[in-house]
Structure formats: structure tokens, C-alpha cells
Chain A
Amino acid sequence: MDQWVVISSMIVAYLGLTLWVGLRAGRGTSSTVDGFVAGDRNFGFLVMYFVTGATAFSAFAFLGGPGWAYSRGAAAFYILSYGVLGMVPWYVIGPKVARIGRRLGQVTQAQFLTGRFRSRGLSLAIALISIAALIPYITLQMRGAGIVIEAVTDGRVPLWMGAATAYGIVLVYVLVSGVSAVGWTNTLQGVFMIVIAWSLGLYLPYALYGGIGPMFDAIISQRPELLELPGLTAGGEPWTWAGYSSAILISVVGLTMWPHLFMKAFTARDERTIRRTVVWFPTFHLFLVPVFLIGFAGVLFVDSLAQPDFILPHLILNVELPVIVVGLFCAGALSASMSTGDALMHATASVAVEDGVRPFAELDEAQQRLLIRIFIVVAGAAAYFFAVSEGISLVVLLLTSYGIIAQLAPPVVAALFWRRATTPGVIAGLLAGGATTLLFFFWPALKPITLHEGLFGLIAHVPVLILVSLLTPAQDRARVEAYVNPPAAGRSASPRR
């Protein structure tokens, strides 16, 4: 039997298993908006651990990670540096957000913020920011899935068909089971990703160099500049320390502000679950170590690849690996892509309806759920259109959206910890931060130093938030206390809906 037939059969089996798990997941969840968007707030530790980990590590990590290590060397270590630091604030913020959300019946980030800073314009602005940041992210996941399938089937299944198949399945299980499908499929996919990354990451250096130490010795003797911090830029020039350090800082601030991660606070069964998820997150983050080892294994074996993102499929197909390993690798890469993609599609649609439409139109439960499902299809279709169109620089878009998403951090912190913060202050801060970020993104020559544009955004954002808040009247006490000092769980009022 041809190799591609075996591999394709493994992919089909894997996709079938995912679909089965996704469809079963919806059983036992209520057919309410709370059930569809927040899983009836009933995710336990195991599911939360994998949802957080697998959602954070996307196709970008599985395909892009080795690509970065291969082409930019030590620059990739910035990703190792920010993960735990980015998740730690969640130990304090996550349980508080969950407690407030449970009490006030919130399921999205904008609902959380506008619960304290009441403004329909703010709600719409957050919805638009989120959607603008999420769509390119979904597109990257789809392309990742398409690339893998095209590569391992020798082009017999082209990118458009591979992406359509994998994401057709995602669409079915997300439409049927909502966030519960995201939770349970991510558990399956998370296990796949971790096992496969570690096996390949340890196997490849041994197979090609006789060990990890010998591999790095060989790279040091031939390409010493590659392993020295802060590594290289995409063009092969040395990266700047300001660029390296500010990439870490902006990612630390932005990581948990991504809507698809933030919203998962509302799915947790209790506050303890969220804390435990943060405590165990570092074990998931270490998954990047084998991912980078795979990339480094390619350095002396593959001559300058035009598209470094293909390093993993390229290595896998050219190193004479047993066919079962290749099949498993595909399952791992698809897992990484689909586990992030499903959460993203679900979050985009939920945000669009809950924050973009509902503040302006009366909708009952059934209409909301129908509209969310329609928006899931629309978001998927939009992302698919970009995924199969050539020539759109998505990575650039994605890196910029990190700067914009990080602008949601000051309002979240202000809502939870600063009694004197006001709605005009938060809106003015967001405008100042967003405008500054975009200014330096479009005209990088204006930057005084080569920091990430999102950091300049924060530097403008925070003082404006503070100043305008202090110049406007304080909020009423009850609303402030509901956020700064929320009553402990157990005394919860009945949900809003």
C-alpha cells in the first residue's frame, strides 16, 4: 500500500474520533446560552487544563515553533520566556472574574467590562477589536491544517480541500455541542499534541545526530550565531534586545486577554479549578522544548527552506521515518490547529452576538443561540476565504493584534482593583492605547526605540485612563464593590437570564 494511503487513513481515523468526541460532548449540557457559551459553568480540572493549554498552543506553535527555531534560532526562546509569566496574573484575576461572571450572568469579556463600565459603544468596540484579532488567527489555524494535509498526501489533497475537511468537522461539532465540544475535543487533542511533540522532539535529534547534546555541539560548531540570544530576525539579521525583550513583555500582558482564553474563566466549575489550571500550566508550556528541538534538528539537514513553516512536514517526509510516525505527526499537527481553531470560532461568534448585537436588539434565548450558530458559520467562511487566498500576510496581522489585545488589560485590571476608575476614563484609555499602537504599526519609522508597538500603546493608555478617570465623577459604590470586592461564592444571586 502506498505511504500516502496509510497516512490518509490515519488522518481519517483521527478526524472521525474527534468528531465522535465532539458530538458526544454536548450531551447533558443545557440548551441555553449559558450552556452553549459557558458550558453551564461546569468544566472540571482535567478539561480546563487541556482547554487552556491546547487553546494557547495553536498550529502557530506546532508548525511555527519549529520554523522559528530553524530560521531564527534563539529568537524563539522568547516564547519559552513569556508563557508562565503571562499565565500567573490569571491566578489572581481568573477566579475573581469567574465569581463576578457567575453572579451577574456574564459569558463574555465585554459583558464583564461593561458590567462595570456601562457603555454600549464600549461593548461594540470590544466586539470589533476581538473579531478583528480573532479572524486572522482562525485563518492561520486553517492554513496550518491545509498545509499539513497537502504535504503528507503529496499534494493529492490540496490545501483548500484539506482545510475544508478538517474545519468542516470542527464546524459540525461546535455547532452541535458548543463550548462543551471545544472542552472535550481539546482534551483529546491536547494529549495527542503533548505525546507526539515529546516523542518526535526526542526521537529526531537521536535519529539524525545521535543525541541532543551532539546536535547542539554540531550546530555550535557550524552556526554559532544561531544559538546566541537574542537570535535573528526573519530576514536573518541579528534581532535587537529591545525587540526581544518587548516581545516578551507585550505577550505577558496580552496572553490571558485573548477573548477565547479569557472567556474560559466563565466555563470553570469553581475558582479552585482555575487556580489549579494556572499552577499546572507550566507543565504544558514545557511542550515547547521538544517543538524547538524538532526545528533545531533541521538546521544542518535542510538547506534554507523558502517557507520555514514547512520545516516540520519537510523533515518528517524526508528523514525516512516509519509511516506510522508520519501519520501520528499529522494527527498532532491537526490537533494543534483544530484545538485552537474551534475555540476561536466559538469565541468569535459568541462575542459578535453577545457584545455586538445584543446590546442593541432584544433577543430571546432561542434567537441568541441561532444567531451564534449563524455567526460561527460566517466566521468560519470568512477565515476560510482568507486561508485559501494567497498573498495576505497573516503573521504580521496576528503579531499586531497582540498589541491591540494587550490594550484590554488595563480596563480589566482597573475594573477589578481600582475603585476610582470611570467609564470615560476606560474609553479614553482604550482610544489612546489603540491609536498609539496602530500609529507605530503603520509608521514604524516614528518609533523612538524598536519596542513592540503594543508597549507604546500601553505607555499612552495607562496615564490617560488614570487622568480621565480622576477628572470625571466616581462611580456609584454598589457597582464598584460588586467588582473590587465581590461576595464569595455560595451567596450568588440568581443569574440575569
Chain B
Amino acid sequence: MIRPLIRRLAIGLFLLNVLAVTWPVVTLFRSPEPLVFGLPLSMAWPIAWILFGWVMLLVLDHFENKD
């Protein structure tokens, strides 16, 4: 029952990811300041999405593999 929900969640998250790293949403994160863990905000933002994507893939794969 939970698998279709997770699939929809994954599709939603990756669509959100596309929006987050392209114009116009990314303009909110265009500035180098503040530094996040020593990295400029403009660099930390796409890195954060790599991490979100990775966690989402781990969750998705966990449920896809449950049989």
C-alpha cells in the first residue's frame, strides 16, 4: 500500500528539485552569503539537493525492494 505513495513522493521531490535549481526559484539562493558549513550559499544549495535526492533514492529503493 505504501509503495505507490513513496513513488509519488519521489516524483514530487525530483520535480521540486528541477524547480529548485533552475530559474526563477534558484534566484533566491544566488548570493554567496551566508556561508553554509564554510561553503557559499550558492554552492551549498545544489549540494543540499544532491543529499535530498540521495536520501529519497534510498527510501524509494528500500520500498521497491520489499517483496
Q: Which residues of A contact B (CB under 8 A)?
A: 74, 77, 80-85, 88, 91, 211-213, 216-217, 219-220, 224, 227-230, 241-242, 244-245, 248-249, 252, 272, 275-276, 278-279, 282-283, 285-286, 289, 292
B interface, size bucket: 20 to 34
> In the complex, A88 Cα to B12 Cα: how many Å?
13
Q: Which residues of B contact A (CB under 8 A)?
A: 14, 17-18, 21-24, 26-27, 29-33, 35, 38-40, 42-43, 46-47, 49-51, 53-54, 57-58, 60-61, 64-65
Minimum Cβ distance to chain A for residue B66 (Å): 13
- Are A241 and B23 closer than 8 Å at their CB atoms? yes
Minimum Cβ distance to chain A for residue B13 (Å): 10
Minimum Cβ distance to chain B for residue A263 (Å): 23
Give the chain A neighbours of B32 by CB distance below 8 A.
74, 216, 219-220, 224, 227-228
Give the chain B neighbours of A77 by CB distance below 8 A.
42-43, 46
> In the complex, A80 Cα to B58 Cα: how many Å?
19
- Are B30 and A282 closer than 8 Å at their CB atoms? no
> In the complex, A220 Cα to B35 Cα: how many Å?
10
Looking at chain A's contact residues, the main secondary structure is: helix
Closest 3 CB pairs of A and B: A227-B32, A213-B38, A282-B54
Minimum Cβ distance to chain A for residue B19 (Å): 10
**A91 CB contact (under 8 Å) in B17, B22, B57:** B57
Beyond the given pairs A81-B21, A228-B31, 13 more chain A to chain B contacts, judged by CB atoms under 8 angstroms and listed by A's residue number, are: A74-B30, A77-B43, A77-B46, A85-B17, A213-B38, A217-B35, A219-B32, A227-B43, A229-B42, A241-B24, A279-B54, A279-B61, A282-B57
> In the complex, A83 Cα to B31 Cα: how many Å?
22
- Are A216 and B39 closer than 8 Å at their CB atoms? yes
Give the chain B neighbours of A211 by CB distance below 8 A.
38
- Are B58 and A83 closer than 8 Å at their CB atoms? no
- Are B30 and A229 closer than 8 Å at their CB atoms? yes
**A292 CB contact (under 8 Å) in B23, B27, B33, B43:** B43
